[in-house]
Amino acid sequence: MNILDKIISHKRTEVGNHRFNFTMGQLRDQSSGRPAPPKFADALCAAPIGLIAEVKHKSPSAGVIREPFDPAAIAADYEAAGAQCVSVLMDREFFGGGEEHFQAVRDQINLPMLYKEFVVDPWQVWHAKKLGASAVLLIAAAMPETLLAGLMTEIRLAGLEVLFEVHNEEELETALKLDAPLIGINNRNLKTFETSLETTLRLLPKVGKDIRVISESGIRTREDVERLRDAGTAGILVGEQLLRQPDLRAAVRDLMGT
C-alpha cells in the first residue's frame, strides 16, 4: 500500500466518524447563511501568473516544515506580499493540518481559500462550504472517475470551485472528460516523490486554451515561475519552498518577482 492509499483509507474512516457526530444536513444548514466566497480562478488570472501560497505544517515526505507554526500569521504575510489565493491543509494525521487552521486563516485574510484535503465524501464539500472555502481540491489518483464526477457535481451544487489535480496523461484525460475548468498538474511522482517541472510542461499542450492550469510542487526559483508563465500556466501552488524561509513576505516577492 503506497502513501496515497494509506491516506485515503484513513480519510474514509475519519469522515465516517465525522458524519456520525455531525450530519451533512447540519453542515448544509450552517453554510446556507454564509456570503458567497471570493472567486478563486478569477483571482489567479488577475496576475500574469497567480500564486496559491500554502499553509502546511508537515508532510510525509518532508517531515515538519516550519516551527513555530502560526497559520494566521503565515497567511497574513502571504496576503501582504501579494499572493492571489491561500491553500490550507486539512489533514491532521499526515500533514498536521485541521479545521482550526483553516478557520484561523479564514478569520485573518480576505483572499480566496482552497480546502486542501483528500476529499472522498460529499460531507467534506459542505464542510468546506461551512468554513468559507472558495475552492475544493479533487485528486484524480484518489478514486474512480464515477466518484470524482459525483463529487464535482456536489462541489458545484455548493457554489464552490474545483481544482482537479492530475499527475499524468491518463488522469488528465479524466479531468478533460469531466470538463474540469481548473486543472492542477502536480509535478510530484507519487511513487518516487521526486518532482520535475517537466510534468507540467509535458501535459500543458494537451489542455485546451479555455482551461486554466495550475502547476504544483517543485517550484523553487523565480526562473521556474517565469518558465511556467511563458509556457501558458495560469498559476502555481507553492508551500514548502516558501515556508522554509524565515521572512515569508520577502520569499513570496523574490519568487514572484514583485
Q: pLDDT tens digit string along 35-58?
A: 889 999 999 999 999 999 999 999
14, 58, 79, 116: the catalytic one is 116
The residues near 113 (Cβ < 8 Å, ≥ 6 apart) are 37, 85, 86, 87, 88, 102, 105, 106, 132, 133, 134, 135
Average pLDDT value for the chain:
95
Number of domains comprising the chain:
1
pLDDT at 21: 86
Give 138's strand partners. 164
Spatial CA neighbour of 44 closest among 217, 213, 226: 213
Q: pLDDT tens digit string along 147-175?
A: 999 999 999 999 999 999 999 999 999 99
> pTM of this prediction?
0.96
Is 165 annotated in the active site? yes
Three-state DSSP class for residue 125? helix
Is 67 annotated in the active site? no
Is 100 annotated in the active site? no
Average pLDDT (100-104) is 98
11, 56, 58, 129: the catalytic one is 56
31, 87, 134, 217: the catalytic one is 217
* CATH number of the domain encompassing residue 202: 3.20.20.70
Spatial CA neighbour of 97 closest among 77, 81, 78, 113: 113
Is 216 annotated in the active site? yes
14, 54, 79, 171: the catalytic one is 54
Q: 10-24, 109-123, 235-249: lowest mean pLDDT where?
A: 10-24
Is 54 annotated in the active site? yes
31, 186, 187, 215: the catalytic one is 186
Q: pLDDT tens digit string along 181-202?
A: 999 999 987 767 788 999 999 9
Q: pLDDT tens digit string along 212-250?
A: 999 999 999 999 999 999 999 999 999 999 999 999 999
Q: pLDDT tens digit string along 53-88?
A: 999 999 988 899 999 999 999 999 999 999 999 999
Average pLDDT (122-129) is 96
- What is the domain extent for residue 152? 3-32+39-256
Instruction: Inform me whether the pLDDT recorded for 1 exceeds 70.
Output: no
